Amino acid sequence: RERWVQLADVVTSLPDGELDVLVLHVWEGLSYEEVAIAVDVPIGTVRSRLNRARRRLRELERSSGEQPHDHDPGRIDLRGSDR
């Protein structure tokens, strides 16, 4: 439960631009190009905002003692250790 609270804090503290592209790409499943069109920015801006948002999430993962994931360095395991 504490991990979900930390995750929610990190996600809600993201700057609006990073939060928008993260939600559209991860939760809504839009491609980078579709996100770029939706928020009216170049695709490179979408990529950089996603990179910054993922970096913040990885910092949370590191601070919680989780090991980085070899298969996808930008992926965060949200299942926690109690599954």
Nearest one of 8, 11, 1 to 82, comparing CA atoms:
1
Arithmetic mean of pLDDT, 41-56: 95
Arithmetic mean of pLDDT, 29-54: 96
Q: What tokens were used for 32?
A: 């980078």
Least confident segment among 6-10, 26-30, 70-74:
70-74
pLDDT at 64: 67
As to burial, measured by CB atoms within 10 angstroms (0-12 exposed, 13-18 middle, 19+ buried), residue 21 is: buried
**Whether the predicted pLDDT of 51 surpasses 80:** yes
